[in-house]
Structure 1
């Protein structure tokens, strides 16, 4: 046996790697998801050259939407230069010939894992979020058949009970990332593993948000100008992470979501999670005239 017998002759691939049938199915499911905000739609998740759980769902959506004029930005936990973000960005550019950027304002399509950029997105921009676990009821109902019936009946009593138990036992809601949220007053969704800080950015946002889980083969959408309301009790208000008073050690910016970096002496320093906003802040401080957009948060507070 030789290596040549195990390989196939080179064949031209479809534009954007995915075949036409896969793209048509994804487009149909995205349109259905727009029509029923927050409702999970199943799709036949295709194989792509990366491991399941590393953004295959978001990658398939991006490959379906891009064209030669689409400027793509990919971030991983806020950073444009992480291994996962750089690999996905390079792959999309290679198979689709799309231009890439790290500037949120220049991007037409933004694929993200764990974060929403600090700069407000426009109506003509699309945000694609990678989702590891799309089912918000999994922690209270592991049987997925029953969970889907609960969604159909809008039966979210167990979810409310779980939040109540957390408050009774710990004095506050312990749910961090993937905070369950009610979309358009009907379906409860898990908004990807984004932190609580980012969930208010989805409420009545101008942009289209597509959430896709490749391993779980589910896709759901938050259309523009759609209500996204975290599940909270009327006497226990929703709270985001207390990062408003923290200052980035590199850029000096304050009032944004930060990454905590432990130091050798037991203390911690902080760096802004949105790396491109930090770069823009440094350039503006150095007098380079950097173009910075409006941000969701002002001094650590989301305007009402």
Structure 2
């Protein structure tokens, strides 16, 4: 039996409500805007917030790219692409430069984003202050008063315990000099890509019912100290064993037979593109 859905799955009223929340988020960079998160045909925690943003914004002329931890072909990425394609009929692509709207979990693509593109990041926990303040009421007050000493203290404790800031991902950032924001669980390597990005970056948390944004060309600074500056993961002197790329985020792959460690591009489409352009 064929089931006919409305364009992009949602009814028009739902799309308008999500768009209104999105516009408010763009107008106040880094501010978490609550919205009425809808029921989705996937479980909460598997990208429902990002998917709702994508479905509310996608149009017939858009070209879609979806990645999950750098891969275009993971189970999550494939099924999200399938849902959007089946309910809109738009074209999907693996090429970052071709896409007008991209949905991603845990990564920002290696190819620099361009003006006119939209990157939608899936967010499990949008509140950067939650690790030390469990009350939603109190975190709202802290944001309103710009009281972020707890976030600095958290980083200071990491330095005292480990000699360096030890956030592997989701390192908090200060947006437009005002709001401390959780950038989603992207690696520290991707944090600098948020700063003055020409693309619109939207972040959606379906389970927490929040949406927030980094408008194009917005200043985004990772929290750090003068004597302990922010440092991204370093892959100096390392390269991808498949395409030879350097200066990108690499996965460590142990070889059980030899005991050696190989490195490979985390962004699979970037790696494939390099392989296809090799002489």
Calculate the TM-score normalised by the size of structure 2: 0.97
CA deviation string 1:130-168 (max 9, x = no partner): 001000001111112111110111100111111111111
Q: Distance in 2 between matches of 1:134 and 1:246?
A: 33
Matched, 1:152 2:108: no
- CA distance in 1 between counterparts of 2:200 and 2:163 reads 35
Corresponding residue of 1:235: 227
Structure 2 distance, partners of 1:84, 1:251, is 25
Native 8 Å contact 1:245 1:255 kept in 2: no
Aligned with 1:210: secondary structure?
A: strand
How many residues end up aligned between the 2 structures? 278
Partner residue, 1:37: 29
Instruction: State the alpha-carbon separation in 1 of the partners of residues 267 and 145 from structure 2.
Output: 39
The equivalent position to 2:46 in structure 1, one of 54, 58, 63, is 54
Displacement of 1:10 in angstroms is 6.8
CA distance in 2, matches of 1:247, 1:123: 29
How do 1:199-278 and structure 2 match up within 5 A? 199-264=191-256, 265-278=258-271
Following the alignment from structure 2 to structure 1, what is the Cα–Cα distance between the partners of residues 243 and 2? 48
The question of 1:130 aligning with 2:122 is answered yes
Q: Is the 8 A contact 1:248 1:254 kept in 2?
A: yes
Partners of 1:93 and 1:244 lie apart in 2 by 39
Q: What's the CA shift for 1:234?
A: 1.0
Partner of 2:162: 170
Contact 1:244 1:256 in 2 (8 A): no
Q: Deviations over 1:63-108 (max 9, x none)?
A: 1111111000000111111111111111110011111100011100
Which residue of the other structure, out of 266, 271, 279, is the alignment partner of 2:272? Answer: 279
Query: C-alpha distance in 1, partners of 2:3/2:111?
Result: 42
Which shifted more, 112-121 or 12-21?
12-21
Under a length normalisation based on structure 1, what TM-score does the superposition of the two structures give?
0.89
Residue 179 of structure 2 corresponds to: 187
**RMSD (CA atoms):** 1.2
Task: State the Cα distance separating 1:11 from its structure 2 match.
Answer: 5.9
Q: How much has 1:262 moved relative to structure 2? A: 2.1
Query: Which has the greater radius of gyration?
Result: 1
Q: CA deviation at 1:122?
A: 0.9
Give the aligned partner of residue 113 of structure 1.
Answer: 105
Q: Equivalent residue of 1:127, what SS?
A: strand
Shift of 1:245: 2.5
Equivalent residues of 1:58, 1:211 under 8 A apart? yes
**1:57 alignment partner, SS class:** helix
- C-alpha separation between the residues in 1 aligned to 2:44 and 2:259? 36
Evaluate the alpha carbon distance shift between residue 10 and residue 272 of structure 1 in structure 2; reply closer, same or farther with a 3 A threshold. Answer: closer
Shift of 1:182: 0.3
- Where do 5+ consecutive residues of structure 2 fail to align? none
Q: Which residue of 2 aligns with 1:69?
A: 61
SS at match of 1:168: helix
Deviations 1:199-241 (A, max 9, x none): 1001011010000001111000000010100111111111000
Match of 1:5 in 2: none
